[in-house]
């Protein structure tokens, strides 16, 4: 597993004069660690380097632009070294998706937030394995194209709806990895409590099918991104978001696809798989929380975790619906009324 750098680590490194780039290379930064780096004026994790093939990071613009900013400022941003670096990251991630057969034809799309309500995204009708940085488009959060030679992806609305609903989403990725998409076609959420990587980095949910590119599709996905970072889109594919960078959003695909394959193998071995104990899962959820990754199970009691006694694909940890959860020590109105009725009866008897 990757090294996790906390705010304390960063503060100590600054005190000792350690190079922050060297400290954070290839590591995962907690959200508070990123804040400390930002305050220190160092590089922020939202432009962390993906491994291989990309050079020169540029620096993040000092002031956030919006779709209302002057056209000249938006052009400067779109043609800056910073945006060039992000476009190269998108090209790099697209190539990795294609090489792993997570996309087919012109399928798949990627977006990175670059301002208050603007994002750089992939073009339509270009294979994700053969994109160039100059193919990218700049769009506002309604999906209107502001800049770029090629027309933006037809599925951009879903990415933008995720970014609007989840302010922490700096990057989004969508593709059709065959095994995960198989689960999405069957309408089965992968079971939990089997592999640490999946428990720590992924929070998966299924969104119902709607026609790709429609606002309805985007809304159903966006409704889930509060507590989940990887959404199986029924009869379609997968979309993920990251609070770090686009490579991290792509990693969610690798983790999910590998996990779905592993579960399929485990299901064929003729023996019920061994699963984690609730205590073991609790430890992983603590790491997850520390990394700033959402999960609806965070905060559940141990006895509510890993309820996988009758394991089969599709079984997940039991998360009680919100209205079933009771606050300890709180008395319901019904119970209060019952106590009052009994007390009244006793008082009547004593008085009678
Ligand atoms: Zn798609």
DSSP 45: G
Residues of the chain falling short of pLDDT 70: 1-2, 15-16, 31, 38-58, 303, 307-352
* pTM higher than 0.85: no
Q: How far is the CA of 211 from the centre of ligand 1 (A)?
A: 10
- Distance of alpha carbon 29 from alpha carbon 19, whole angstroms: 15
Q: How far is the CA of 127 from the centre of ligand 1 (A)?
A: 12
**Sign (positive/negative) of CA torsion 197, 199, 201, 205?**
positive
- Give the model's pLDDT for residue 54: 45
Q: What phi and psi, each to the nearest 5 degrees, are found at residue 230?
A: -135, 115
Q: In this structure, are residues 239 and 173 in contact, taking their beta carbons and an 8 Å threshold?
A: yes
DSSP 123: B
Q: Half-sphere exposure of 287 toward its Cβ, with a 13 Å CA cutoff? A: 18
- Give the model's pLDDT for residue 310: 46
- Give the model's pLDDT for residue 9: 79
- Distance of alpha carbon 333 from alpha carbon 198, whole angstroms: 41
Angle between helices 31-40 and 7-16 (to 10 degrees): 30
- Distance of alpha carbon 345 from alpha carbon 108, whole angstroms: 70
Q: How far is the CA of 315 from the centre of ligand 1 (A)?
A: 26
> Could you read off the pLDDT of 229-274 as tens digits, one per residue?
999 999 999 999 999 999 999 999 999 999 999 999 999 999 888 9
Q: How far is the CA of 300 from the centre of ligand 1 (A)?
A: 34
- Distance of alpha carbon 340 from alpha carbon 337, whole angstroms: 5
CA 125 to each of CA 46, 57, 78, 105, 152: distance values in angstroms, whole numbers, following the listed order = 28, 28, 21, 8, 9
Angle between helices 215-222 and 156-165 (to 10 degrees): 40
Torsion of CA 21, 114, 158, 288, to 10 degrees: 30
Catalytic hit among 88, 155, 199, 257: 155
Q: How far is the CA of 176 from the centre of ligand 1 (A)?
A: 6
Q: How far is the CA of 243 from the centre of ligand 1 (A)?
A: 22
- Distance of alpha carbon 37 from alpha carbon 20, whole angstroms: 8
Q: How far is the CA of 332 from the centre of ligand 1 (A)?
A: 47
- Give the model's pLDDT for residue 135: 98
Q: In this structure, are residues 147 and 138 in contact, taking their beta carbons and an 8 Å threshold?
A: yes
Q: How far is the CA of 154 from the centre of ligand 1 (A)?
A: 9
- Distance of alpha carbon 220 from alpha carbon 51, whole angstroms: 33
CA 33 to each of CA 19, 28, 63, 172, 338: distance values in angstroms, whole numbers, following the listed order = 15, 10, 21, 22, 52
Annotation says 155 is catalytic: yes
In DSSP notation, 27-43 reads: PEEPHHHHHHHHHHT--
Q: How far is the CA of 106 from the centre of ligand 1 (A)?
A: 9
β-pairing verdict for 237-242 and 171-175:
antiparallel
As given in the structure block, the two tokens for residue 37 are 């780096």
- Give the model's pLDDT for residue 56: 53
Q: How far is the CA of 328 from the centre of ligand 1 (A)?
A: 45
Q: How far is the CA of 117 from the centre of ligand 1 (A)?
A: 23
Q: How far is the CA of 129 from the centre of ligand 1 (A)?
A: 15
């Amino acid at each position: 597993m990757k090294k996790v750098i906390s705010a304390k680590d960063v503060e100590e490194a600054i005190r000792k004069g350690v190079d922050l780039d060297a400290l954070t290379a290839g590591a995962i930064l907690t959200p508070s660690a990123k804040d400390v780096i930002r305050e220190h004026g160092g590089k922020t994790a939202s432009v962390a380097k993906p491994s291989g093939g990309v050079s020169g990071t540029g620096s993040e613009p000092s002031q956030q632009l919006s779709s209302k900013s002057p056209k000249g400022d938006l052009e400067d941003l779109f043609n800056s070294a910073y945006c060039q670096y992000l476009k190269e990251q998108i090209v790099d991630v697209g190539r990795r998706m294609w090489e792993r057969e997570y996309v087919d034809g012109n399928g798949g799309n990627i977006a990175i937030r670059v301002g208050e309500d603007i994002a750089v995204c992939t073009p339509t009708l270009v294979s994700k394995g053969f994109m160039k940085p100059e193919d990218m488009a700049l769009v506002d959060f309604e999906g209107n194209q502001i800049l770029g030679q090629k027309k933006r992806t037809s599925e951009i609305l879903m990415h933008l709806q995720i970014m609007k609903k989840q302010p922490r989403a700096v990057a989004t990725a969508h593709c059709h990895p065959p095994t995960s998409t198989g689960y999405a076609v069957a309408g089965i959420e992968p079971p939990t409590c089997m592999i640490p990587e999946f428990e720590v980095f992924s929070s998966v949910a299924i969104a119902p099918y709607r026609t790709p590119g429609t606002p309805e599709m985007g809304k159903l996905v966006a409704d889930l991104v509060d507590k989940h970072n990887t959404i199986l889109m029924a009869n379609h594919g997968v979309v993920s978001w990251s609070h770090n960078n686009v490579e991290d959003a792509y990693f969610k695909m690798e983790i999910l696809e590998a996990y779905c394959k592993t579960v399929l193998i485990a299901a064929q071995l003729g023996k019920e798989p061994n699963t984690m104990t609730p205590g073991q899962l609790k430890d992983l959820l603590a790491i997850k929380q520390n990394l700033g990754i959402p999960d609806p199970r965070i905060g559940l009691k141990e006895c509510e975790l890993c309820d996988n006694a009758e394991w089969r694909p599709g079984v997940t940890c039991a998360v009680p619906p919100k209205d079933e959860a009771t606050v300890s020590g709180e008395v319901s109105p019904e119970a209060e009324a019952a106590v009052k009725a009994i007390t009244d009866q006793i008082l009547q008897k004593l008085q009678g």
